[in-house]
Amino acid sequence: MEFEYNLPVHIVFGRGCIEQLGSEAAKLGKRALLVTGRSSTKKSGLLDRAAALLKDAGVDVVFDKVTQNPLTTTVMEGAAFGRKAKCDLVVALGGGSIMDAAKAIALMCRCEGDILDYQLLRRTPQPILPLIAVPTTCGTGSEVNGTAVLSDPTTNDKRGMRNNDYLPTVSIVDPLLMKTMPKPVLAAVGFDALCHNMEAFLSRKRQPFSEIMALRGMELSVKFLPRVYENPDDDEAWEAVTLASTFGGMSIYTSSVVAPHGIEHPASGLRDIVHGCGLAALTPIVYEHTLSAAPEKFRTIAKLLGGKKAADCPDAIRRFLERIDLNCTLSEQGVQEADIDWMTENCFQVSAMMLQNHPCKLTPDDVRAIYRAAL
Ligand SMILES: [Fe+2]
């Protein structure tokens, strides 16, 4: 057996560790571009708190705002703003979309040209600005990986960029910051985290380190996501679902996501649907189609979810989704029958690697059938 594991991110994890934001930032720069979402961090007071922590540590702050499913054009605007303001550090405060956009902004603050020129590169021509990631949702695990998923508004392509240079320098993962998420957001991002761990576990690129994190991440999500969904005052459960998300980010960075993510991306790229909801509609169906390719692995997942054998896996996932009110279809989210051909073609263009890492080969006819069954 031969494998590699390389994840050079300084991870600070724990309830209340946001307090370390100022001291960590002061080690890296003097003027921070704080990238955040439209309104949630402002409403909760977190934005003001983060800005105060930075200022108290002697770091100046300027702000930038990013939306869900970040666009390549938004990144270019953010980078132009950061350059003009002479920022030497980027701080991402928000969910996966924010952290992904911040990675690309940190890149384009330093590099010439358009973000699209860098999407397929394995190394950046020069180091990007240092980045501190502060997640406020426990789903993507973007704080511990070098992946950024951006949508190109001219083509609707939702494409992942992956490069060790995009890894955050520091990640401050404070489970208490997750507590302001509305329940539907918690369900969607929490299920995304479970999917990351399930997919890394199923992946052809699975290796011992990612496997152990994926297994532990799945256990934590299965036990604690319904618990925190029912009782948002349960801080132990918040810590567990946050750790599951961080494990998920680490395991997919090493071992990749597989077909459910690959097939979901064209749907959310085209219709701007919530990623976790798209996965909820597609995952049980993808697994139903491919159970026979990895019966032992599906049996392990099924057992974690309360089933007995591999064939129980899709329904065990559906029962789990019911507990967090996330059972849904693609058509409920605006996807139409007429979209299927475009999504199938797009899937083989932008998600080819994810499909290749699935335990079995999927043809365009398979993918078309999966979309149809998920409508
Ligand atoms: Fe995901």
Convert 144-200 into a string of H (helix), E (strand) and C (coil): HCCEEEEEECCCCEEEEEECHHHCCCEEEECHHHHHHCCHHHHHHHHHHHHHHHHHH
Q: What's the CA-to-centroid distance between 59 and ligand 1, angstroms?
A: 32
pLDDT band with cut points at 50, 70 and 90 for residue 326? very high
pLDDT band with cut points at 50, 70 and 90 for residue 104? very high
Q: What's the CA-to-centroid distance between 353 and ligand 1, angstroms?
A: 15
pLDDT at residue 69, as a whole number: 66
Q: What's the CA-to-centroid distance between 191 and ligand 1, angstroms?
A: 9
* pLDDT over 90 at 132, yes or no: yes
Q: What's the CA-to-centroid distance between 188 and ligand 1, angstroms?
A: 10
Q: pTM of the entire structure?
A: 0.93
pLDDT band with cut points at 50, 70 and 90 for residue 41? confident
Distant-in-sequence, close-in-space partners of 114: CB < 8 Å, separation ≥ 6? 72, 76
Q: What's the CA-to-centroid distance between 106 and ligand 1, angstroms?
A: 22
Rounded Cα gap, residues 34 and 70, in angstroms: 16
* pLDDT over 90 at 155, yes or no: no
Q: What's the CA-to-centroid distance between 52 and ligand 1, angstroms?
A: 31
Mean pLDDT on 338-362: 96
Q: What's the CA-to-centroid distance between 307 and ligand 1, angstroms?
A: 24
Q: What's the CA-to-centroid distance between 239 and ligand 1, angstroms?
A: 19
Mean pLDDT on 343-365: 96
Q: What percent of the chain has pLDDT over 90?
A: 81
pLDDT mean across residues, the chain: 94
> Which tens digits make up the pLDDT trace of 26-37?
999 999 999 998
> Side chain identity at 195, as an amino acid letter?
C
Q: What's the CA-to-centroid distance between 306 and ligand 1, angstroms?
A: 23
Q: What's the CA-to-centroid distance between 160 and ligand 1, angstroms?
A: 11
Q: What's the CA-to-centroid distance between 203 and ligand 1, angstroms?
A: 14
Mean pLDDT on 212-228: 98
Q: What's the CA-to-centroid distance between 84 and ligand 1, angstroms?
A: 33
